[in-house]
């Protein structure tokens, strides 16, 4: 496997764009990545497009209709919430394998007011559906249950989940790409409308539109195009699905995916969680962020509450340590499903390369960054990047 570098990145501000199409949103991010990389569309040899809700519409080809059709292979990816990060991995593997030298990944989604009430992707056999009989498989309920189980096992409190929301909203005030940039107090979070206990409204990610893009290159092409600019290397690109376990009809497993992927990622990169400078993880709900602190090894099992109380996850400028989701995370930045995975990687890259697009929130001396996404159904990606 060859070394692979992220030469250029692009992202649009997450929000709502009712007058624009999905290909137009994706093209905007792609053109920014091309400009940032200092290449042209003629240099790109493979295009990987991630989109979930229009998975049968060949969105990748439609994006190329906007930015230039050169006859290159196009891979369209649909993999639940890990759609964008899986597209990035396809672009990574194409270069790492030696088959191509310059590839591009774009993640894009237009959700507007669709909501995140769907299940874990893909449809299920009605004969085995437990929806409405044994609780709910809808996402707010699934991740609410995960939070409740952590409370039962370890004594975690509602305030711990609330503090995560406060932290993420605080971080988002420094990110012009974030859908929401408003601070909230712990009282605001705890008194907000309950969605699925223990997650209140401010503990749930918003829906919206977004797009992000990345251009990946081999070491030879890095020397040709980077002109001495600092660029991040992809030290690990891991994709997992659920292993077989005895089925639990009432409590879906939201952790095993991440734990297995994290173990493989650290082994591949030759580092440990203590070496990670910043993490962008899949905080679709505040309860998800808390359990993933432990799943990713940022703290020990049962220690997430203590980790939060001691400033874990907070930007160092705010007195924190082991910063998580300094972009504002999905809770504030938004969660347009196909765009999320690539956007997380863009954020990590910007910190590692001290990019001006993150200048208001740069983590000092960042050397290793982690981007994590899960999609129930099931898929988990973890990317470790270094400089």
Q: pLDDT for 216-248, tens place per residue? A: 999 999 999 999 899 999 999 999 999 988 877
* Span 130-142, pLDDT tens digits: 777 767 888 889 9
Are 363 and 355 within 8 A, CB to CB? no
Mean pLDDT of 301-323: 96
DSSP string of 50-101, one letter each residue: E-STTTTS-HHHHHHHHH------EEEE-BTBTHHHHHHHHHHHHHHTTS-S
- Residue 118: the pLDDT is 44
- Residue 117: the pLDDT is 45
- Residue 123: the pLDDT is 52
Q: Which of 92, 88, 93 is nearest to 105 (CA)?
A: 88
Are 374 and 86 within 8 A, CB to CB? no
How far is Cα 94 from Cα 101, in angstroms, rounded to an integer?
8
- Residue 312's CB is within 10 A of a number of other CB atoms, namely 22
- Residue 115: the pLDDT is 54
- Catalytic residue at 205? no
Helix (H, G, I), strand (E, B) or coil at 314: coil
Gyration radius of the chain's alpha carbons: 19
Catalytic residue among 81, 204, 205, 346: 81
Helix (H, G, I), strand (E, B) or coil at 156: coil
Sheet containing 4-11: give its strands across.
74-77, 46-50, 102-110, 209-218, 4-11, 232-240, 379-386, 368-375, 278-280
pLDDT above 80 for 160: yes
Architecture label for domain 4-115+205-386: 3-Layer(aba) Sandwich (3.40)
DSSP 15: B
pLDDT above 80 for 169: yes
pLDDT above 50 for 206: yes
How far is Cα 214 from Cα 195, in angstroms, rounded to an integer?
35
Whether pTM exceeds 0.85: yes
CA atoms within 13 A on the CB side of 80: 22
- Residue 357: the pLDDT is 97
* Span 77-108, pLDDT tens digits: 999 999 999 999 999 999 999 999 999 999 99
Facing residues of 77 across strands? 50
How far is Cα 300 from Cα 306, in angstroms, rounded to an integer?
10
* Span 40-84, pLDDT tens digits: 999 999 999 999 999 999 999 999 999 999 999 999 999 999 999
H helical segments located in 173-285: 186-191, 219-225, 256-269
Are 142 and 376 within 8 A, CB to CB? yes
CA atoms within 13 A on the CB side of 141: 15
- Percent of the chain residues past pLDDT 90, beyond the cut: 88
pLDDT above 80 for 124: no
Q: Which of 4, 10, 3, 48 is nearest to 345 (CA)?
A: 10
How far is Cα 113 from Cα 92, in angstroms, rounded to an integer?
32
Domain residues of the chain, as ranges?
A: 4-115+205-386
Confidence of residue 150 (pLDDT cuts 50, 70, 90): very high
How far is Cα 105 from Cα 377, in angstroms, rounded to an integer?
23
Mode of pairing for the β-strands spanning 232-240 and 278-280: unpaired
Are 135 and 39 within 8 A, CB to CB? no
- The pLDDT mean for the chain works out to 94
Q: Which of 260, 244, 215, 267 is nearest to 372 (CA)?
A: 260
How far is Cα 370 from Cα 217, in angstroms, rounded to an integer?
19
């Amino acid at each position: 496997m060859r070394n692979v570098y992220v030469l250029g990145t692009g992202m649009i501000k997450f929000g709502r764009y009712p007058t624009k199409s999905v290909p137009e949103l994706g093209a905007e991010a792609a053109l920014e990545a091309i400009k940032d990389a200092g290449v042209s569309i003629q240099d790109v040899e493979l295009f990987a497009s991630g989109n979930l809700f229009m998975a049968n519409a060949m969105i990748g080809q439609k994006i190329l209709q906007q930015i230039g059709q050169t006859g290159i292979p196009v891979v369209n990816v649909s993999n639940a919430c890990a759609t964008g990060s899986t597209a990035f991995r396809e672009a990574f593997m194409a270069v790492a394998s030696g088959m191509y030298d310059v590839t591009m990944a774009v993640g894009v989604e237009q959700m507007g007011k669709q909501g995140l009430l769907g299940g874990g992707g893909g449809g299920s056999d009605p004969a085995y559906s437990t929806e409405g009989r044994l609780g709910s498989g809808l996402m707010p309920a699934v991740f609410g249950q995960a939070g409740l189980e952590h409370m039962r096992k370890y004594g975690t409190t509602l305030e711990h989940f609330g503090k995560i929301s406060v932290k993420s909203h605080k971080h988002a005030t420094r990110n012009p790409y974030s859908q929401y940039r408003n601070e909230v107090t712990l009282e605001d979070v705890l008194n907000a409308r309950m969605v699925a206990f223990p997650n209140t409204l401010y503990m749930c990610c918003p829906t919206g539109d977004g797009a992000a893009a990345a251009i990946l290159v081999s070491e030879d092409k890095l020397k040709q195009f980077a002109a001495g600019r600092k660029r991040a290397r992809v030290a690990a690109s891991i994709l997992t699905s659920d292993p077989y376990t005895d089925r639990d009809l009432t409590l879906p497993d939201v952790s095993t995916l991440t734990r297995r992927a994290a173990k493989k990622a650290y082994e591949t990169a030759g580092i440990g969680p203590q070496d990670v400078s910043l993490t962008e993880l899949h905080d679709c709900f505040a309860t998800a962020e808390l359990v993933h602190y432990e799943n990713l090894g940022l703290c020990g099992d049962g220690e997430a509450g203590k980790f939060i109380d001691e400033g874990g996850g907070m930007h160092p400028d705010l007195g924190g340590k082991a910063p998580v989701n300094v972009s504002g995370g999905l809770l504030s930045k938004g969660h347009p499903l196909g765009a999320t995975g690539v956007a997380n990687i863009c954020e990590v890259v910007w910190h590692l390369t001290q990019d001006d697009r993150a200048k208001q929130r740069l983590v000092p001396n960042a050397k290793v960054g982690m981007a994590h996404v899960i999609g129930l159904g099931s898929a988990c990606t973890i990317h470790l990047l270094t400089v």
